[in-house]
Amino acid sequence: MRIVLDPWGGDYGSQVATSHEVDTEETVVHALEADGEECPWKPINPAPTILPQETVVVDGVMRSDASGMVEDGERRALALFGSFAAGAVAINSQVRVVQDRVERLFIAGGNWPTPEDVTVPAGRSAILCYRGHSSKADIYDDLREALVNEMRRAEAQVAEALSGSDKLVLADGSLKFFGGASAVVGVIKTIYKLYLPAKRATILGRLQAGQRTPFFCIEGKRKNTGYKILTCYLRLTLPQPIEIPFAGLVRLEVNPSQREHGDVSNLFDQAAVKVRELASRAPKDPRAPQNLIPIGGLERQLRHKLGDAQLVLRGIKQKLRAMAEEQATLASFGTLEE
């Protein structure tokens, strides 16, 4: 018996969310075919023809501020007060935060009609507005997933607004919420599944630090939805002898439409070089090396923008007490009129 460790572990979950080497049948994978990179199936040393003048890293943070329930007569549904922030760091001769935006949602589940916005006091004069949002979710985990999806959409808006011909824009996560013509490169830190068949997946064990696989196409066919993306794996560092074999790997994504606008291989090479340059180091970052260095500072600023969690929770409770008192007063007036 051998026991190996995930270098993340702890409160940050796991870098790898799968133990399988073969993908499931719900996704069709084309490697080295018409949609793949035209080169031998072996590790590639990235050699971009030119590096961008500026690299932009986009990320977001979220927080569940309070869980609750909505009621109307005998009907009830779970609800969630949630906040998220999306922002970006630009890197050229200096590093600076170029965007940070905060949104707050009051999400009612069970396909509840879109609720009214809820304004919440925060401190002496600040007012926080939770925008009403309806979801089909009927458990808290799904409500939180709805919040995550809205955060991802906000990240996509930030990333696409900052993209340009002289920039390399790296988005934390997949390109699921991006437009079809997006030139953004997705950086996926967590390996949820291996999209390669067993024979192709052996290349991952041969990758040296800084090398990537040839890109291949993922074409997802799930229910009535489709998903098509170009992707490759990049090794940032070699795993330690006691670590899982996929430690130090990230997966990069590029929209297939970029084939019409330029050299996709060069775009993957640019991203591979920059992502490795920006990779964090252990033990300073618990999610090293996949968590890029600029993201740490950006996340700290975004969490600060969300406000103090305890102060926000007190404001939510204060607002709900005021609403309950108002409803009780209206009910008493109705009784007197009868």
Residue 295 tokens read as: 């993201």
Domain ranges across the chain = 1-53+166-307, 62-156+310-338
Distance in angstroms (rounded) separating the CA atoms of residues 130 and 191: 33
Q: What is the DSSP string of 80-144?
A: EEEEEEEEEEEESSSEEEEEEEEEEEEEE-TTPPPPPPEEEEETTTEEEEEEEEE----SHHHHH
Closest CA to 157 of 195, 134, 184: 184
The CB density around residue 213, as the number of other CB atoms within 10 Å, is 27
Please name the amino acid found at residue 14.
Answer: S
Please name the amino acid found at residue 31.
Answer: A
Question: What's the whole-model pTM score?
Answer: 0.86
> What average pLDDT values come out for the chain (338 residues) when binned by 10 residues?
52 56 45 72 94 94 94 91 96 90 96 95 89 95 95 95 90 88 90 84 94 90 68 93 86 90 90 94 77 88 95 93 85 58
Q: What is the pLDDT of residues 272-300, one digit of tens each?
A: 999 999 988 877 777 778 888 888 889 99
Integer-rounded Cα radius of gyration of the chain: 23
Distance in angstroms (rounded) separating the CA atoms of residues 255 and 30: 15
Residue 186 tokens read as: 């997705």
Say what the pLDDT of residue 190 is: 85
